[in-house]
């Protein structure tokens, strides 16, 4: 009887346990593939900040174009 239980234990450890672990983590990776609500909120904030910065840079370039016309060619 102990020989059969040893064989079953070896089969479990070599076949069932690795498959179980692999399928467990595949399921975890699939569920974590999307963005969380906090990530979406942070991304929206960054998008708004980038838009504001783009407007500010455009305004600064207009001011520099009017006050120092050759500023883009200077290094």
Q: What is the pLDDT of residues 20-52, one digit of tens each?
A: 999 999 998 888 787 788 889 999 999 999 999
Q: Are 60 and 68 in contact (CB under 8 A)?
A: no
Q: How far apart are CA 23 and CA 6, in angstroms?
A: 25
Q: What is the pLDDT of residue 32?
A: 78
Which distant-in-sequence residues (6+ apart) come within 8 Å of 7 by Cβ?
A: none
This prediction's pTM: 0.52
Radius of gyration of the chain measured on its C-alpha atoms: 30
């Amino acid at each position: 009887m102990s020989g059969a239980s040893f064989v079953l234990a070896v089969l479990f450890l070599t076949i069932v346990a690795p498959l179980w672990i692999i399928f467990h983590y595949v399921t975890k990776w699939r569920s974590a593939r999307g963005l969380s609500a906090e990530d979406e909120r942070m991304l929206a904030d960054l998008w708004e900040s980038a838009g504001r910065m783009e407007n500010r840079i455009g305004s600064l370039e207009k001011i520099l174009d009017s006050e120092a016309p050759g500023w883009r060619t200077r290094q």
